[in-house]
Amino acid sequence: MKLATLQTLMAAIEEGSLRGAARRIGTSQPALTKMIRELELELGTTLLHRTSRGVQATAQGRVLYEHALKATRELGQAVDEIHQMNGQMVGDLHISAVPVAVMLLIPELLRTFGLAYPEVRLRVSEELYVAQLQRLRTREVDITVGGIPDELPPGEFVIEPLIQTTMVPTARTGSRWLQARTLADLQEARWVFTGAHSNSGYARLLFESYGLKTPPVGAIVNSTLALLSLVATGDYVGLMPSQIANHPMALPYISVVPIAERGHPLTIGAILRSDTVPSPLLRNVLTHLHRAAHQVGDAT
């Protein structure tokens, strides 16, 4: 089984047509069809369904595609790491980050790292709630920058703390909930929870830390825009990092509820898989993240 043959199969599945795949690979359609047919004969199974509208992967073709995609990605990473070891900083890096990290750390990271290594492509995905860390587990991202959950499985991840924040209760400007003076006064409010379900998120942790019952769930969201939109326009209360709640763009629409209790303290850190051997590229990204965090500390 040759890598070039696997790449023709991948192209056919991604393009949805043999003609498009042949154009992408730079070969003729008959030659590409022959390569895929030889692969099917080698494996003794059908990998593609041919229809009048193009081609689709069979269940067997999908399995081979997923493994070929992973193998191709890992081979590409190996080539990039070899170049990096030789002093050539090239390649791709995918970072997922929570909104407060996107606001405070990522711009400085992109500025300094981009200047130092212009041939490296950094991709940033915003993640509102990273406790599940699923994308890191499946290697969809190389590093996560977010709140460090208490329930992290021991030994599964490596953590490098970066900055501190406090999750504070917020409500829309003019809301009756801004008259609250204690956390208990907010128990009857409808809260916007962040995460996959009502048992996740920092609101539950905040109330439990003061021995209070978890408030009723008004909505569950997993995006920054949804959280801001619901709190800014509805009769909701939601926890946000203090830096976001007090940001000039948010101040006209939301306010921090002035309760006596301190909000939920949270450490924002860089999280990596413990079975990952950091490449030279990844080590340099971590260095620049720490520099960005140090600059944030100096500014606060």
- Please write the tens of the pLDDT for every residue from 159-169: 999 999 999 99
pLDDT of 25 > 70? The answer is yes
Lowest-confidence range among 14-23, 244-253, 278-287?
278-287
Q: Enter the tokens of residue 260.
A: 């006596």
Q: Which amino acid is at 279?
A: S
Please give the residue that has the higher pLDDT: either 40 or 298.
40
Domains recognised in the chain with CATH numbers: 3-85 (1.10.10.10), 91-163+267-299 (3.40.190.10), 165-266 (3.40.190.10)
Q: How far apart are CA 186 and CA 272, in angstroms?
A: 36
Contact 128, 144 (CB under 8 A): no
Please give the mean pLDDT across all residues of the chain: 86
pLDDT tens by residue, 82-141: 665 666 666 788 898 988 898 889 999 999 988 888 888 888 988 776 545 778 887 788
Its pTM surpasses 0.75:
no
> Who wins on pLDDT, 154 or 197?
154
